[in-house]
Structure 1
Amino acid sequence: MYQSNKLTKAVRLALVAGATTTALAAPAAMAFADEAAAEDKGVERIQVTGSRIRRSELTAVTPIIEIDAQEFAISGNLNIEQKLAELPSTLPSFGPSSNNPGDGTATVDLRGLGTSRTLVMVNGRRWVPSNQSGVVDLNTIPASLIENVEIITGGASAVYGSDAIGGVVNFKMKDDFEGVEISTLYDVTTENDAEKFNLDLTMGGNFADDRGNAVLYIGYSKREALFQGDRAFSDKALTEGADGLIAGGSSGIPGTRVFGGPTLPNGDNLGRFLPDGSGAPFTGADRFNYAPDNFLQLPQERLTMSAFSHFYINDETRIYSEISFIRNEVPQELAPTPAFTTIEVNPNSAFFAPDVQQAMLNSGDLNADGNYEMFVGRRMVENGPRQAIDTRDAMRILVGIDGYINDDWSYDVYYSRAQMDQSNLLNNDVSASRFKQALLVNDAATACQDTSGGCVPLNIFGEGNISDEAVGFVNVGAANITSIKQEVFMATVSGSLPFTFPGADEPVGVVFGYEKRQDESSFRPDEFLSAGDVLGFNAGQATVGSYASDELFTEFSLPLMSGKDFAEDLSLWGAARFADYSNIGQVSSFAAALNWAPTDWVSTRIGFQSAVRAPNVSELFLGAANGFPGATDPCAVDGYQPGVTSDALCLADGVAADQIGVFEQANGQIEGSFGGNENLTEETSDTFTVGIVVQPFEGLDFTIDYFSIEIEDAISSYGVNNTLNVCYNIVKDANHETCKNITRRADGNVDIVQSLNANIASIETTGVDFNVTYNKELDFGLFGDGSDLNVQFRSTFLEKSDFVPIVGLDTKYECAGYYGNTCGAPQPDFQANTRINWTNGDLTLSALVRYIGASDDDQLMVDSDLAKSDLIVPEIDSALYVDISASYVFSENLNMNFGIKNVFDEEPTALGDSQQQANTFPETYDVIGPRVFVSASYTFD
């Protein structure tokens, strides 16, 4: 490796404020200087994410978590999000089991504040966005190329800019490599399914008399599908019955469900159809089990290619580049289309048996054309399962130059351009217009009354009655295209000022920088989606928009005192950022922290950060998109609250007087129309941290950090359920915006609820992180030599996780310790994991013990009058997962890992109505069962 002849200068520079930054790819001499300084002091020196000024982990200005490459290798994690989800400070987000909801990406959510509030970086720089929210898909970052991961939780906008309200996850990649390394991993369950495989090739070498280095990486990975029907835990859609969990499902059935149907001659209400077209009542036993058709593990195929290079023009100047291409294909699969819609039929049609014909003709509800209108739910099993195939092609190129200005100052300038192109193919959907056209037939049911477009009669009135020709007429697919571009230009100058404070040994360190960023993206839906002419996928309009920002930032480190009684070290750190956004105007953020070490084995830190997050393209420009969230109608029997719900408002909106609080809601899912708002402003947050670091003796250290994060003007939407609740139970005013956004059908059921983004919410979370690291040299070993023991314990005590959906109204969801339809994924009061490594020569034995505390159903939080005994499943039990693995270095060239995950086959608590999917929260709890993996890497020159 080429080394500058100004090594003395670099050593001095590294020992003071630290002139390089995470975003600045440090020159080799600088990196060597840090290592040399660390070796002299007997401690490891690392680059941390909380600051652009170099510090060691235990003296960082804010709490830091670091994960090294060995942890990924010994864990056998093919996908990064699975490792991050194991950390107590993260809330599991989309991952391999996120089928519905899910979008084929894998994301990280620090402190449970939302994925759009977690900034993901690679080598300290922004990475390729995966969607119009700017969120990074962790599938695009190969685990085998990671050198380490640094995580800071809490507002870091002053240092890194927008999106860092929840924190920063920085992946440092291997970009300086000599030789060839081939690595592979195979992972399979003990049921011999759900395989995972990857193969990686890394090649690198020096050139031009060691003045330069280039690295090429090629990786391929494949993950096989697993369906919910492949596991007994998830093969039925569970719901809550009178005496426990029972098999549930959807009211959209293959025999066609009729809501509010006429009375049959035998006195029953028409609720469904038998195969011969006759009628029958609908019971809970008739519900359709949609679970088996859903993925429990999404298949994935990924190709990654990356190239890193740098070259020293002279002793002071280096140029560098990074180029990446990633292709991800991740399908999703759902049960066949549930066609819930109002239809018009010919009551004399041969589709119907005489009893149904008579019931419709005698109902007195025929329209002017003599036809009968009904609201139905038809499961289109003849059309096949719905499929969404997402293919994302991501590219990123970065070029930069860095170097020394003089003995005390360095600089870095770079430009990056990232682009993501996504094709979203939707298969086996049903056209709403063709569906209705094909149902209105002549008396003989041999032809459509409207024959345009080659209409074929569609007999949905009884299971198995749809012909292949009719399927061909109503079946539609869609092709949606998303394009995202991000450009970043950054220039920084950093170094040390030529003076020190009295009592301090080191000078003041500073960083000055300028960043210009432009984000633009477009989502162009298929004509069927944009027109709303679909029954199985959510309709949506185009989303097109862009914004730019110009930002100035600075950071400083002031060593105030060192080597004194009760002041072994006292320093002040600060940062500020001033940004001008093209859409929201000028915003600012700042941070400050005080580190005080009264002795060489105890240190304390206290910090405050004021952060901002600018609205992203999706939040600003999202075209109207329809969704079907679970919601309860306050005017219906299940949602009505006597003395609370406004009867007058229900009546005014079209609910019959004798049906208020009486009628049964047609469906547990209510259609909503969601969209962006160009008038949004920035979110603001305050983060307060205070902590202590104790190193009582060599080999042991522990940290205790209290955190408090408050977010104001949080971007949210009323949502369907909140809109209904606010309108009928709180404001009770027809002129309020929530009431204006509700439309009902003629039968009194809610038709659609409109909900746009707005700065209406607030979020607050507080808690304590307690971490312990212990290293011990032991006198015994399997091979006659001594051995080493390493224990790392990480834990989080969650005190508060509050969400106020609409500031100003008396509604606060206190979600710490809860899960469910309001709070989402479980947020237990306590989580911890412990990694134990025992190394003896070339052998390392390891165990990971992960504990997730119990959580209560959030119905208990929402309704104070509800007792645990009133619920079928009042809580999710605590879970304890144990993974074991072994690593052996056969030679300097060959290393192998073997392991078993979830050794004791820990199964989650089965849930009914308060689940996310697969009868649980599958990104939080393991529903697949024990997995066995083996991996190997071989290196040669």
Structure 2
Amino acid sequence: MFNPSLPRAVRLALTAPGVGAGAVLLGCFALPAAAQQPEAGSEVDKLETIVVTGSRIRRVDLETASPVFVIDKGQIEKTGKLTVGDLLQTMPTIAGGATATNGAVNNGGGTGAATIDLRGLGTARTLILVNGRRLAGPAPDVNAIPINLIERVEVLKDGASAIYGSDAIGGVVNFILRKDYQGIEFAVDYGISDADDGQRKGVTMTLGHTSDKGSLMVGVNYNKQDAVSAADRDYSAEALYLSSGSIVAGGSSRTPRGRIFLPSDLIAQFNCPPNAAGSVTRIPGSSGGSLSDYKCYDPASDAFNFQAVGNLQLTPQERGSLFVVGNYRLSDNVEAYIEAFHNKTRAAFAIAPLPFDARNDNVLISRDNVYNPFGIDFGRSGDNDSGNAFFLRLQAIGNRRAETAVTTDQINLGLRGGFGDTSWQWDANFTYGHFSQFRQFGGYIFQPALSAAVGPSFIDANGVPTCGTPTAPIAGCVPVNPFNPEETPEAFSLLEAPYRTNTLFVQREAEVNANGELFELPAGVVSLAVGASYRKEYQRFTPDFLTTSLPPDFTNCQLSQETCTSPIVGGFDVKELYGEAFIPVLRDVAFAKALNLTIGTRYSKYSTFGNSTNSKLGIEWRPLDDVLLRGTIAEVFRAPTISNLFAAPASNAPTFRDPCIGVTSPVGANANIDRACENVPRDGSFGGPPNGQTTGLVAGNPNLKPEQGKAFTWGVVYDPSWLEGLSTSVDLWRFALNDNISALDVNTVALQCFTAGNLCDFIHRFEADGQVFYIDQPTLNLGRLDAKGVDFSIKYRLPETPIGTFRVGLDATYTMQFNQLIRDTQGNATGTIYAAGQFNRQLGNYARLRGLGTLNWELGNFDASWTARYIHGFDLGTLRPGGDSADGTIPNVVVGYGASTYHNLQFGYQIEPINARIELGVDNAFDKQPPILFQNNVTNGNTDPVTFDTVGRYYFARFSVKF
């Protein structure tokens, strides 16, 4: 990739006397430019075949039918990145909304993990490999791979289920590990933001020894990243909303002074305006003991700014790794090898104090509570629904917070060798992967104790507030004042209950494979690769008993509703056979300097759903020496994950716009509306959920089928002989995927019921006022996904000049289409989501054009680079016609955003006397701020932290030395 003249050098080498199809390429990424016209018997003799990601055939060609993007060790070091996730986030092929792509995802992340979402097809449709073998984990965390262990990263931008099996739909990211290292390498890294926060430190050490019998390399890696607070950045210091056409610095209606919804007879005493929606809040500084202590709730002035009280824009994390890579020659034809690494990560997150909703949290605030001045019940307890909502922000127990400890271990042991003096090679290996995650949470309330503390209470003979009634006091219970928590902070602190979760994932895989030459054709040698594998996966997620969802509706547990979840226990095994053949059809004839076919197929037998057979056809046609035309047609599939299959019901809080808002249709006038808006008042006063969210109930489905589809690529590579150093490529891509595995979207359910009478049984509303209680979200094989676009690549190494050597490059991806056809449970089409050029909270960012430009300079011991990352403009509010809006109150509002470009600069110097190197750099050199997408459209800090930089200008330095 980084020496555009290399493919031409290889072709010239292959035409030299005495070189056959079995010649091999050695040191391909470092082959000097002087090798462009090698002499027979010199450079030619060093050529060896290699395996490039996307094929199991050993070949001399780097340019094959499948497009591959490569990042080598030198480039990795120049970025100053300490984790793989930060490194790969800049790739133009990254899109969508991988919520754990970087440490900037705090609310919904905060584990230190990094996942990869190629093409925006979803992280589950991107296969992660380490030396061609699957990285273990329920959602493989690439940050677990020690960055100093990586020789290069190969990103296959094509479907490859025929080669690697399930999940290789959007592409494959293959981490190639270093080997045969001799010496000691030590490096230290340091970085800090322009705002003097977000400090990071790192140290790596690698030791290697190589002999005639084999090699051994061991290493350690340690890095630490400090937090960045949302309050310390202008764009995220306040919770910004787009509401009624205006930008409002607002926040949550769950406030420390409470938002209290009153029945009509009580609210009439306050003469509140419509924006209060029948609610009041305690006047600042008042006791809250009488009605005169309350005023009408004003969303503009009374909302709680959760961004200012602990939310983070960069989560703190600490990571340490050990690794070993070695091989030992047992005989002339047999070699034993080991590849293993161990990683421990600690991370944390903190978000605003707990929002309490008495109704959804299944807590009844009694009319007989000594602190209740209103004389009515609030919230609910089981079927006893007061119909009166009560919102509160529980500042008395501090921020919600969590600490995460993750251990990832992966080891691959094997034997490999050759069959005598033939071209055939074999490999037999066993891979074991172990992922363990322990999380401890704080800032939550024990619900049974809270129910007692806000239930009936009285003043005893000593003048002390007491839970219960005079005839039945509750021992060990202290009443709390939900109307003024500042009066009873100690009582609230007694209610806090930390909880824990554990996740275990174990993967075992055994594989045997062989590859070599079959027979000679006039155009060359036919080669074959065959293999068989057996893989077993097991996952267990164990929630705390406090957070285990309770029947019958599974929306509540013994803590606040947002913590409620369910265990996941299950596993599967899969047996696979695969074969791949390389067939040279034509060579050195008119208009066909070379014409090759690659055919592959894989048979997979899963214990969960049965069989799947997927095949692939690749074509390479070189009509001229300088031009390669290539294309692939591949069948792809994704097997249901253990979570997809075995997850018990668990609640979530998706963004929701109720179609019954403002409904005035009389009962009986429209049967669909009657079912969709059951119990909803028909006078136009219904306003939907006060916080723009509802409760969804997601569950796994053991009857899921695999996703099935096809992936297509067509491209041209042009390496002009008339301009040495230039290489260009253009590749069109298309994906068509059926039977998508996904949980039914709550907005789809509500709109389908409202417009067509479908899926109405999934909607559950409160009888008292028609507000949604919860919506069932079963996991089903739903709909179809169609995506297509084009990749561009230009690399040019300019001729040497007196002022140094320059290299320029550009890689870009343009997304022409990203459509999701949604179906109901009966298979009927219910609408299409057009995501290309859009951002949406549900799916993420699909800016049509993303690019990565580079300019590198070298002169003696000096070098420098300039990298520009480009993200095209996009629209907000048009993903689902008629169902989405960028404005929180006005429907169908679309906001357009311009492009964003980030500039990174790096300078390096080689200190030859001590074999050391120093690097200095700055990321986001011009301090480009992220676009404001408003809190009513995003979860984290008013913007999209997966796509945009949230820290600002960042300086880093690196010193390395080799012995």
In the alignment, does 2:466 pair up with 1:442?
no
Letter in 2 for 1:926: D
1:146 is aligned to 150
Deviation at 1:101, TM superposition (A): 2.2
In the alignment, does 2:305 pair up with 1:303?
no
In the alignment, does 2:310 pair up with 1:291?
no
Structure 1 Cα separation of the partners of residues 666 and 634 of structure 2:
46
2:930 is aligned to 908
Deviation at 1:238, TM superposition (A): 0.8
* 1:930 aligned residue (953, 957, 962): 953
1:705 is aligned to 731
Letter in 2 for 1:276: S
Deviation at 1:668, TM superposition (A): 1.1
1:784 is aligned to none
Gap change, CA 1:769 and 1:743, over 3 Å in 2: same
Structure 1 Cα separation of the partners of residues 19 and 125 of structure 2:
32
Structure 1 Cα separation of the partners of residues 799 and 47 of structure 2:
16
1:115 is aligned to 123
Contact 1:571 1:595 in 2 (8 A): yes
Structure 1 Cα separation of the partners of residues 19 and 539 of structure 2:
41
Aligned residue runs from structure 1 range 292-691, under 5 A: 292=308, 293-342=310-359, 343-353=363-373, 356-357=374-375, 360=376, 374-406=388-420, 407-444=422-459, 446-449=465-468, 452=474, 454-462=476-484, 464-472=486-494, 474-500=495-521, 502=522, 504=523, 506-531=524-549, 532-535=557-560, 537-637=562-662, 649-650=673-674, 654-659=678-683, 662-691=686-715
* 1:276 aligned residue (270, 279, 287): 287
2:498 is paired with a residue whose SS is strand
Structure 1 Cα separation of the partners of residues 410 and 41 of structure 2:
34
Letter in 2 for 1:920: T
1:832 is aligned to 851
Q: Deviations over 1:779-805 (max 9, x none)?
A: 212xxxxx2211111011110011123
* 1:173 aligned residue (165, 173, 177): 177
CA RMSD of aligned residues (A): 3.2
Query: Would you say how many aligned residue pairs link Structure 1 and Structure 2?
Result: 892
Gap change, CA 1:57 and 1:238, over 3 Å in 2: farther
1:464 is paired with a residue whose SS is helix
Contact 2:149 2:323 in 1 (8 A): no
2:682 is paired with a residue whose SS is helix
Aligned residue runs from structure 1 range 143-292, under 5 A: 143-206=147-210, 210-261=212-263, 262-263=266-267, 265-268=269-272, 269-274=278-283, 275-277=286-288, 278-284=293-299, 285-292=301-308
1:430 is paired with a residue whose SS is coil
Structure 2 Cα separation of the partners of residues 193 and 37 of structure 1:
57
1:456 is paired with a residue whose SS is coil
Deviation at 1:142, TM superposition (A): 2.1
1:833 is paired with a residue whose SS is strand
Gap change, CA 1:607 and 1:656, over 3 Å in 2: closer
Aligned residue runs from structure 1 range 851-890, under 5 A: 851-859=870-878, 862-863=881-882, 874-890=895-911
2:431 is paired with a residue whose SS is strand
Contact 2:350 2:401 in 1 (8 A): yes
Structure 2 Cα separation of the partners of residues 243 and 174 of structure 1:
55
Contact 1:156 1:164 in 2 (8 A): yes
Deviation at 1:899, TM superposition (A): 0.5
* 1:744 aligned residue (755, 766, 780): 766
Letter in 2 for 1:332: F
Contact 2:318 2:345 in 1 (8 A): yes
Gap change, CA 1:642 and 1:558, over 3 Å in 2: farther
Gap change, CA 1:43 and 1:297, over 3 Å in 2: farther
Structure 2 Cα separation of the partners of residues 37 and 412 of structure 1:
30
1:215 is paired with a residue whose SS is strand
Gap change, CA 1:521 and 1:327, over 3 Å in 2: same
Contact 2:72 2:152 in 1 (8 A): yes
Gap change, CA 1:77 and 1:659, over 3 Å in 2: farther
Q: Deviations over 1:109-143 (max 9, x none)?
A: 000000011011111111221x3xxx210110122
Contact 1:157 1:589 in 2 (8 A): yes
2:867 is aligned to 848
Q: Deviations over 1:640-681 (max 9, x none)?
A: 999999565446864244356734433311011111100001
2:792 is paired with a residue whose SS is strand
Q: Which runs of 4+ in 1 moved over 6 A?
A: 11-14, 17-22, 34-38, 41-45, 365-373, 639-645, 864-873
Deviation at 1:518, TM superposition (A): 0.3
Q: Deviations over 1:320-348 (max 9, x none)?
A: 01222111111121111111122434435
Structure 2 Cα separation of the partners of residues 898 and 483 of structure 1:
40
Gap change, CA 1:556 and 1:250, over 3 Å in 2: same
Structure 1 Cα separation of the partners of residues 901 and 891 of structure 2:
27
Contact 2:789 2:817 in 1 (8 A): yes
Structure 1 Cα separation of the partners of residues 603 and 383 of structure 2:
66
Gap change, CA 1:408 and 1:346, over 3 Å in 2: closer
1:25 is aligned to none
Deviation at 1:521, TM superposition (A): 0.8
Structure 1 Cα separation of the partners of residues 927 and 297 of structure 2:
39
TM-score by length of 1: 0.89
Structure 1 Cα separation of the partners of residues 571 and 41 of structure 2:
46
In the alignment, does 2:103 pair up with 1:101?
no
Structure 1 Cα separation of the partners of residues 654 and 573 of structure 2:
33
Gaps of 5+ in 2: 1-15, 28-37, 273-277, 550-556
Letter in 2 for 1:914: N
Contact 1:38 1:44 in 2 (8 A): no
Letter in 2 for 1:216: V
Range with greater deviation from structure 2 (405-414 or 88-97): 88-97
1:96 is paired with a residue whose SS is coil
In the alignment, does 2:810 pair up with 1:758?
no
Contact 2:368 2:456 in 1 (8 A): no
Letter in 2 for 1:818: Q
Range with greater deviation from structure 2 (905-914 or 343-352): 343-352
Deviation at 1:166, TM superposition (A): 1.2
Contact 2:369 2:456 in 1 (8 A): yes
Letter in 1 for 2:959: A
Deviation at 1:176, TM superposition (A): 2.1
Identity %: 27
Aligned residue runs from structure 1 range 704-853, under 5 A: 704-729=730-755, 731-733=756-758, 736=759, 738-781=760-803, 787-806=804-823, 808-822=828-842, 824-853=843-872
Gaps of 5+ in 1: 1-10, 23-33, 782-786
Structure 1 Cα separation of the partners of residues 530 and 381 of structure 2:
74
